[in-house]
């Protein structure tokens, strides 16, 4: 009798049915670096287990950014007609939540809103985006190489996915790395450096607004990045 070998899996419980549907659709659409969705059991996603699962954050910064940008270019696919994922504009509603942004510098909030309007007036071709591919969400697999986990699932301008690379890791000093990271990301992602910086500003302020919504407090790290980018 042939022995059946069961591959290790990772079970992830969604916080809501909406979150479950969104992550399932994202994993079904994103390119091959995305973690494999094996099945759905109720409100639990059964995913391949990534082994050893070492995050790219453990690598030197340039190497980490190289791995993430390569993963992004492979993950992005054209958005299909009728795609149910939220748009970039919809993802940025926290920028207009007055309770969330009232504790942030008004000039920075205004700059982020203006930049978002400017970027969306001249968008790149819509793609299915990861939405949150930072240095802790790209893991090393002995079988597959780098694997992207925990997608938010968004549709829109690929520049939106650049922001997390400029504000993470928060336990470092991402603001001090901007002058080196901006041209590097622009080159590797084939985007104008001004566009990379613009999306970085939007995502940095958005990250602080989300943090205020969740905790009532300003985190600070992303705000420092936004202040540098707004200069």
Q: Tens digits of per-residue pLDDT, 99-113?
A: 999 999 999 999 999
Beta strands, E only, the chain = 9-13, 37-41, 44-48, 52-55, 77-78, 127-129, 138-141, 145-148, 154-156
pLDDT in tens, 36-83: 999 999 999 999 999 999 999 999 999 999 999 999 999 999 999 888
3-class DSSP assignment, residue 70: helix
Active site residues per annotation: 132
Taking alpha carbons only, the member of 211, 113, 223, 208 closest to residue 175 is 223
pLDDT value at position 124? 75
175 with 228: CB under 8 angstroms? yes
Model pLDDT for residues 186-216, shown as the tens digit of each residue: 999 999 999 999 999 999 999 999 999 999 9
According to CATH, the topology of domain 9-229 is Aminoglycoside 3'-phosphotransferase; Chain: A, domain 2 (3.90.1200)
Residue 5 has a pLDDT of: 43
Q: Max Cα separation, the chain?
A: 70
Q: Where are the domains of the chain?
A: 9-229
Q: Is the pTM of this model over 0.75?
A: yes
- CA triple 167-193-204, angle to 5 deg: 25
Per-residue model confidence as pLDDT tens digits over 4-39: 445 689 999 988 999 999 999 999 999 999 999 999
């Amino acid at each position: 009798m042939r022995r059946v070998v069961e591959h290790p899996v990772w079970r992830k419980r969604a916080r809501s049915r909406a979150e479950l549907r969104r992550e399932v659709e994202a994993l079904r659409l994103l390119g091959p670096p995305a973690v494999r969705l094996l099945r759905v059991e109720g409100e639990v996603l059964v995913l391949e287990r990534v082994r050893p699962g070492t995050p790219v954050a453990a690598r030197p910064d340039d190497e980490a950014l190289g791995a993430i940008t390569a993963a992004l270019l492979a993950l992005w696919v054209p958005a299909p007609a009728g795609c149910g994922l939220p748009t970039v504009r919809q993802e940025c509603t926290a920028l207009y939540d007055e309770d969330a942004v009232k504790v942030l510098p008004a000039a920075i909030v205004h700059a982020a809103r203006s930049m978002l309007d400017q970027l969306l007036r001249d968008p790149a071709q819509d793609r299915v985006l990861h939405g949150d591919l930072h240095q802790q969400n790209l893991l090393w697999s002995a079988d597959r190489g780098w694997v992207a986990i925990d997608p938010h699932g968004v549709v829109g301008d690929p520049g939106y996915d650049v922001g997390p690379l400029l504000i993470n890791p928060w336990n470092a000093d991402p603001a001090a790395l901007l002058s080196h990271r901006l041209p590097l990301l622009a080159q590797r992602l084939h985007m104008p450096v001004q566009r990379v910086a613009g999306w970085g500003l939007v995502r940095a302020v958005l990250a602080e607004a989300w943090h205020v919504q969740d905790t009532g407090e300003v985190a600070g790290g992303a705000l420092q990045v936004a202040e540098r980018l707004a200069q």
